[in-house]
Amino acid sequence: MSHIFPRHTKSVLPVAARGDGVYLIDSDGKRYLDGSGGAAVSCLGHSDPDVANAIKRQVDTLAFAHTGFLTSHPAESLADRLIAHAPEGIDRVYLVSGGSEAVEAALKLARQYMIEIGQPQRTRFIARRQSYHGNTLGALGTGGNMWRRAPFDPVMVSASHIAPCYEYRGRQEDETAEAYGLRVADELEAELQRLGPETVIAFLAEPVVGATAGAVPAVPGYFKRVREICDRHGILLILDEVMCGMGRTGTLFACEQDGIAPDIVTIAKGLGAGYQPIGAMLCSARIYGAIEQGSGFFQHGHTYMGHATACAAADTVLRKLTEGGLTDRSARMGEVLADALVSEFGQHPHVGDIRGRGLFRGLELVEHRGTKAPFAPDRQVAARFKKAAFANGLICYPMSGTIDGQMGDHVLIAPPFIISEDQ
Ligand code: PLP
């Protein structure tokens, strides 16, 4: 009998024994094509020798040094490399162990920034209904997935939520994509006016929505308008690129394609590529400067932050994504994948939408393509899709999300960037 406390207590899972490129192999020898890189994590596949060697070298030299006392070469090198490729104005890197930790750090830094600049009355966050920002109580409180939130609602600090930019369901027939983008972005202005803009700390959003909707990018112009509204009211723009960052959408940071830069951006998953647990919160020089010239202390921290071995792995991953050309490969293979999905499923009666960027693609499954009516939740379509694919040796990431009170079934396809056309 296992002593593991699994996510699903009623199912028995196969044992992953080995990784081989884009494949995972279980202890019975069955091969699974990792079509979603787990949850958009494994961007380099499962047997990258360069990352493995970087980890071995680092463990032999220095495994860990507590950041309360010392910094380390791999942490410094990773921070330099990230900033060399970061959106404009982003200047500092706070290294943590995963996505939820990165989001928690972002929320707390944003709040502390407001205190440091003499605006302690700012206490609220605004996020979007179609969003997932992590499972810790602060991150969960900003997320918009009602199913994940429900049991914990009474004990969470809650953000207020506005509509997502979700063209498939939100754009009206007589509306251009641009007009739609401006209309939904203006919900941020309306929510600020309702709350009192001087009480709000930040707006938090995923540039391409992942875990609640299956790779939904915003329409052109949406984030530019959001940026303008944030600036007009002195609120921070926090972009959560935990899932969509690190080359997943074909550019290192997803927001590059929206033509804007955030004040704070979070990354994780692809940064460690599955080889080490690591995440990061990056912030602008302005925010860092407020702390540096103010209290001089960010009131936050985790024991394993800036872990030397994790940083050495991530530094190698990042080098391969940038100098090694793997981010460009994500863009190129993303087009191959998109064409294949459209030619296979473009006319399928139960595929309502095919979307995404780079190797970050989503299918929305519907009961009726014409009316866009979703399947009834009790049919558990996404879960059944996952099961059928898995039985046939394909891992893909299914999700059922509540969006504006409506259930929807989505499948996320996010394979490693090394995938070949045949695979
Ligand atoms: N933010 C986004 C956008 C995510 O997709 C996730 C995880 O799926 C998280 C945050 C939380 O990351 P982690 O699971 O590493 O804590």
Instruction: Write out the residue range of the structural domain in which residue 363 sits.
Output: 16-47+325-413
For 30, other C-beta atoms within 10 Å of its C-beta total 13
The last residue of one of the domains, among 265, 299, 322, is: 322
In this structure, what CATH number is given to the domain that contains residue 211?
Answer: 3.40.640.10
* 203 within domain boundaries: yes
Q: What percent of the chain has pLDDT over 70?
A: 98
Task: Name 238's bridge partners.
Answer: 204, 264
pLDDT tens figures, 371-413: 999 998 889 999 999 999 999 999 999 988 666 656 689 999 9
Does 81 share its domain with 187? yes
Considering the domain architecture, whether residues 40 and 62 belong to the same structural domain is answered as no
- For residue 90, being part of any structural domain is answered with yes
Q: Is the CB of residue 240 below 6 angstroms from any atom belonging to ligand 1?
A: yes
Residues 101 and 214 in one domain: yes
**Structure confidence by residue, pLDDT tens digits, 307-331:** 999 999 999 999 999 999 999 999 9
- Pocket lining: 103 vs ligand 1, CB cutoff 6 Å: yes
Q: Are residues 232 and 83 in the same domain?
A: yes
The confidence score (pLDDT) of residue 377 equals 85
Number of Cβ within a 10 Å radius of residue 168: 16
* pLDDT at 156 exceeding the cut of 90: no
Residues 62 and 180 in one domain: yes
Is 81:282 a contact under the CB 8 Å cutoff?
Answer: no
- ipTM value, please give it: 0.99
Ligand 1 pocket, mutate which of 36, 103, 140 (most atoms under 8 A from CB): 103
Mean pLDDT over 54-60 rounds to 98
Per-residue DSSP letter, 412: E
Indicate the range of 8-22, 249-263, 340-354, 393-407 predicted with least confidence.
393-407
Distance 204 CA to ligand 1 centre (A): 13
Token duo for residue 24? 């995972």
* Number of domains the chain contains: 2
Q: Is the CB of 99 inside a 6 Å radius of any atom of ligand 1?
A: yes
Span 241-277, pLDDT tens digits = 999 999 999 999 999 999 999 999 999 999 999 999 9
- Residue 243: CB within 6 Å of ligand 1? yes
Q: Give the residue from 289, 322, 355 where a domain finishes.
A: 322
Closest residue to atom 7 of ligand 1, CA basis: 134
Kindly tell me if the per-residue pLDDT of 105 is higher than 70. Answer: yes
Nearest atom in ligand 1 to the alpha carbon of residue 136 is: 16
pTM to 2 decimal places = 0.98
Specify whether the CB–CB gap between 273 and 51 falls below 8 A.
yes
Going from the Cα of 132 to the center of ligand 1, the distance in angstroms, rounded, reads 7
- Check pocket membership of 134 for ligand 1, CB cut-off 6 A: yes
For residues 252 and 351, state if they share a domain: no
State the Cα–Cα distance between residues 188 and 207, nearest whole angstrom.
15
What is the number of the ligand 1 atom nearest to the C-alpha of 139? 10
Task: Give the atom of ligand 1 at the shortest distance from the alpha carbon of 211.
Answer: 5
> Taking 70 as the threshold, does the pLDDT of residue 206 lie above it?
yes
| C-beta of 98 in contact with ligand 1 (< 6 A) | yes
Nearest to 254 by CA among 222, 287, 289: 222
Query: pLDDT value at position 145?
Result: 84
CA distance 280 to 284: 13
Helix (DSSP H) and strand (DSSP E) numbers for the chain: 13, 17
**DSSP character for 219?**
P
Angle (deg, nearest 10), helices 308-322 and 326-345: 70
Q: Rg for the chain (alpha carbons), in Å?
A: 21
